[in-house]
Amino acid sequence: MVDTPADVLTPDSTSTYYAASSASGIVQGLGTYYASGFSGPFLEETQTLNIDYVRVPMGGSVSSTSPALNSYGVGIRIAGTGLQIVTTASYSRRKVYNWYDVSSFQQPQKFQWNAMSADSYGNTYGTLTASTLGPQGTVMTTQPYYNRRPWNDATDTEVSKTMDRSTNVVVIFSGCNTPIALPEQSQYIGNFNLSILTPNQAGYLGGSQWGPGGIYGAATLDVRYAYRLWGKYNSNQETLQQILMFIDMVGSTVSAVQLWSMPPKNPATTLPWGSWTVNPDAGFSEYDISRHDYT
């Protein structure tokens, strides 16, 4: 049986912090129509990014044992922790005819995060501040990037890109040394047991701890962890600079197409040494982290 924790995004308490002096929103002149002024055509460009995150163990080693004939307890020393994420992003560039008071206007993209004090198993790890993400939560765009200028028929084109619920986690089931399934990742994200134990360390020896019903074989969990912290987690390990770097890093993985759809769109392929990989498929090059603003 898979040890599935409670919904990773419904803890008992949350704290909201802004990655700027305030969530200023859309300012005057962006979407206000006027009876006179500039009518276009205009190029209107927007960008957004939202991130659900959960911190999980990244591996460990045996620190203690409690041997007995009726049970055998094993203590595990946490090597470090990292974030598994589910993210959405959008970008659009379109030709519009509206009346505005000014022909050109631009505003940067701003963020806030709703940090949760407890993980899905009910554990807490210290006080949350404006410089902590906590064990799980959400980073969201509070002010979309927006750019407006006169349209240029010689060079401008319309574009609309959306990345729906994509992640830095992929799971591969295998049987007889052959990839046989790429399940949807939701039930595995935030699962501490799957993050720290191999199939032969849980369930029963040689068993398929993580396989869905009817599928034989072990699971390979591939995670491109974000915002890594070494040792056992406490909120005082975090800094504001690390959080802002994390947001930029996620934006960069979007623009580099380095995330996986849910479920993955690409098949598993065999590597020369016998393990497997799945090429990322989610993201779009139009996303640009230079539009982020944390002032």
3-state secondary structure of 203: coil
Backbone angles phi, psi at 237, to 5 degrees: -75, -20
> Is 152 part of a structural domain of the chain?
yes
Q: How far apart are CA 252 and CA 37, in angstroms?
A: 38
Rounded to a whole number of angstroms, the distance between the first and last alpha carbons of the chain is 47
Q: How far apart are CA 39 and CA 66, in angstroms?
A: 76
3-state secondary structure of 156: coil
What was the pLDDT predicted at 174? 73
Q: How far apart are CA 205 and CA 189, in angstroms?
A: 24
> Is 169 part of a structural domain of the chain?
yes
Domain limits for position 120? 14-288
More confident residue, 29 or 62: 62
Contacts of residue 214, defined as CB under 8 A and 6 or more positions apart, other chains included, come to none
> Is 7 part of a structural domain of the chain?
no
Q: How far apart are CA 284 and CA 258, in angstroms?
A: 9
DSSP line for 50-84: EEEEEEEE--EEEEEEEE-SS-EEEEEEE-EEEEE
Label residue 212 by pLDDT band (50, 70, 90): very low
Asked whether the predicted pLDDT for residue 294 surpasses 70, the reply is yes
- Total domains present in the chain: 1
Backbone angles phi, psi at 143, to 5 degrees: -135, 110
> Is 255 part of a structural domain of the chain?
yes
Q: Is the C-alpha dihedral spanning 55, 58, 62, 68 positive or negative?
A: positive
Label residue 218 by pLDDT band (50, 70, 90): low
Asked whether the predicted pLDDT for residue 78 surpasses 60, the reply is yes
Label residue 68 by pLDDT band (50, 70, 90): confident
Backbone angles phi, psi at 160, to 5 degrees: -140, 115
> Is 222 part of a structural domain of the chain?
yes
**pLDDT tens digits, 131-151:** 999 999 999 999 999 999 999
The mean pLDDT value for 245-249 works out to: 97
**% of the chain surpassing 90 pLDDT:** 55
Q: How many helices (H) and strands (E) does the chain have?
A: 2, 17
**% of the chain surpassing 70 pLDDT:** 78
What was the pLDDT predicted at 176? 66
Q: Is the C-alpha dihedral spanning 215, 217, 219, 220 positive or negative?
A: negative
> Is 6 part of a structural domain of the chain?
no
Which residue has 């939202």 as its token pair? 50
Helix, strand, coil fractions of the chain, as percent rounded to 5:
10, 40, 45
DSSP line for 212-272: PTT--S-EEEEE--EEEEESS--GGG--HHHHHHHHHHHHHHHHTT-BEESS-SSPEEE-T
More confident residue, 14 or 172: 172
**pLDDT tens digits, 157-173:** 999 999 999 999 998 87
Q: What is the pTM of this model?
A: 0.83
- Summary mean pLDDT of the chain: 82
> Is 295 part of a structural domain of the chain?
no
More confident residue, 254 or 172: 254
Contacts of residue 91, defined as CB under 8 A and 6 or more positions apart, other chains included, come to 45, 46, 47, 159, 160, 161, 162, 284, 286, 287
What was the pLDDT predicted at 177? 66
What was the pLDDT predicted at 74? 78
Nearest to 165 by CA among 265, 93, 273: 265
Point out the least confidently predicted range of 18-22, 120-124, 229-233: 18-22
> Is 2 part of a structural domain of the chain?
no
